[in-house]
Amino acid sequence: MSQQEQMQTAERERTNKLRILSIAVGSGIAILGVLVILYAWQIWPFTSQVQSSENAYVRGQVTFISPQVAGYITSVDVTDYQPVKQGDLLMTIDARIYQQRVDQARAQRAMKEAALANNQQQQRSAEAVIQRNQAALENAKAQAVKSGLDLKRVENLVADGSLSVRERDAARATNSQTVAEVAQARATLEVSKQDLQTTVVNRAALQADVSNAQAALELAQIDLTNTRIIAPRAGQLGQISVREGAYVSAGTRLTSLVPEQTWVIANLKETQMARVKPGLPVTFTVDALDGERFNGEVEFISPAAGSEFSAISPDNATGNFVKIAQRIPVRIRITSDNRAHLRPGMSVEVHIDTAAEVKPQ
């Protein structure tokens, strides 16, 4: 074999080796790409019992502190980010107007109570008048009986001629007068009874006036109390947004209060929810704390996807529908002792072990 043929043979062998190497490298890259996709989507053989998500955040009960009354801020007794206890005084609002309203309401109540007491006195007076008129009626009845007997005797004497007709007419007139006095006394007694009833009925209205005045006084006292802005619970304040001398109205945001209680909300894909249930153990790391690890457990699972709670519900009945994996919020209770380092809003990465034993709730 000539030298030229040997060189051609060597060249073909080298070309074949390169082709085989290229095919092997391309196949390897393709297999590696498939494996990466399978791993990314957690498809066999990379299926994991641990469901993870970076779409998770620390949450807390952030309370916005606002006044219930309007007025000028007379003192600010706290500073930004200061820890406070329940009942601590935060700020005060000018209370002079509200104190005057309390005094005015107290005076109104005293006036209504005096009117009620006067009604009681009127009732006792009306009862005494009824007793007096009852006695007058009994006296008129007695006088009428006496007058009737006198008239009968006069009638007998006139019949035998012992008395004149003029004396008989006078006796008849006297008897008629006593009978009329009985009717008048009875009517007077009935009027006094009606006066008593009027007093009793008016008493209910006066009692209602006293109750109304008492309610107005309590409302004024509540407004006066609300001029002192106090911490509803223990926690740490946010930034103070008002200063002394500022005018605030009811509902103005003065500051915020963050209690120590925190939890984690993890928004898992719906494809991860098959084995997630309350009681499963959870571990999570916090970006802001150099990846510090915390422990917890699944506490609650949202009754619906996050999109169902949005102000504008998605309309999937359109021609350009694209299937997107929905997110299901999961609330995680923190069980670690080092939870004091957590702050609401921090980003975390959660890992839920769906193969672990469920803790009883």
Given a cut of 60, is residue 1 above it in pLDDT? no
Q: What is the pLDDT of residues 343-353, one digit of tens each?
A: 898 999 999 98
Given a cut of 60, is residue 73 above it in pLDDT? yes
Band of pLDDT at residue 30, cut at 50, 70 and 90: confident
How large is the average pLDDT for residues 171-192? Answer: 80
End-to-end CA, the chain: 87
Given a cut of 60, is residue 339 above it in pLDDT? yes
Q: Does domain 96-225 match CATH 1.10.287.620?
A: yes
Are 250 and 67 in contact, with CB atoms under 8 Å apart? yes
Token pair, residue 262, equals 């925190």
Helix, strand and coil content of the chain, in percent to the nearest 5, comes to: 50, 20, 30
Residue 242's Cβ-side half-sphere holds a number of Cα atoms within 13 Å equal to 26
3-state secondary structure of 81: coil
Classify domain 49-60+259-361 at the CATH class level: mainly beta
* CATH topology identical between 67-94+229-253 and 96-225: no
Q: What is the pLDDT of residues 219-234, one digit of tens each?
A: 999 999 999 999 999 9
* pLDDT in the model for residue 134: 86
Band of pLDDT at residue 47, cut at 50, 70 and 90: low
* pLDDT in the model for residue 330: 93
User: Which is higher by pLDDT, 357 or 326?
Assistant: 326
% residues pLDDT > 70 (the chain): 89
Euclidean distance between CA atoms 252 and 64, whole angstroms = 10
* pLDDT in the model for residue 28: 83
Q: What is the pLDDT of residues 249-291, one digit of tens each?
A: 998 999 999 988 899 999 988 888 888 889 899 999 998 888 8
Euclidean distance between CA atoms 94 and 244, whole angstroms = 11
67-94+229-253 CATH choice from 3.40.50.2020, 2.40.50.100, 2.40.30.110, 2.40.480.10 = 2.40.50.100
At residue 300's C-alpha, the angle toward residues 298 and 306, to 5°, is 110
For the chain, what is the mean pLDDT? Answer: 84
Q: What is the pLDDT of residues 83-95, one digit of tens each?
A: 999 999 999 999 9
- Give the least confident one: 3-17, 37-51, 97-111, 210-224: 37-51
- Whose CA is closest to 224, among 359, 98, 352? 98
Euclidean distance between CA atoms 12 and 84, whole angstroms = 85
Q: Where are the domains of the chain?
A: 1-47, 49-60+259-361, 67-94+229-253, 96-225
